[in-house]
């Protein structure tokens, strides 16, 4: 299934890149690889995430060994990524 990152993820992606470029560069390659692997997993298994505790219409997929979660919804023809959420910001995305 096709994965589409909505405009609502733009700042999140910028923060993700900045964090791994500037704050934690040692983890950059691993985080990028994990992100690619998760996208492949979601494309093959759209319901691999767990239901959100805060919004009943979305799923969450944690990126292992990072503070980030992919927040998404499954549509008939695509997966829409709503946020690439840094969980250190709390649970209200």
CA-CA distance, 44 to 3, in Å (whole number)?
10
CA-CA distance, 70 to 35, in Å (whole number)?
9
pLDDT score, position 11: 97
pLDDT score, position 93: 79
Q: DSSP H helical segments within the chain, as ranges?
A: 10-18, 28-44
3-class DSSP assignment, residue 14: helix
The more confident residue out of 31 and 91 is 31
pLDDT above 90 (res 92): no
- Encoded tokens for 77: 């023809």
- Sorted by where each begins, the domain ranges of the chain are 2-89
* Per-residue pLDDT tens over the stretch 6-41: 999 999 999 999 998 888 888 888 988 999 999 999
The domain 2-89 having CATH identifier 3.30.2310.20: the answer here is yes
């Amino acid at each position: 299934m096709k994965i589409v990152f909505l405009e609502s993820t733009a700042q999140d992606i910028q923060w993700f890149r900045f964090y791994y470029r500037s704050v934690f560069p040692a983890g950059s390659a691993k985080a990028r690889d994990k992100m690619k692997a998760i996208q492949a997993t979601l494309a093959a298994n759209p319901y691999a995430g767990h239901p959100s505790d805060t919004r009943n219409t979305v799923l969450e997929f944690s990126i292992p060994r990072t503070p980030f979660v992919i927040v998404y919804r499954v549509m008939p023809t695509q997966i829409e990524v709503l946020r690439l959420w840094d969980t250190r910001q709390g649970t209200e995305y």
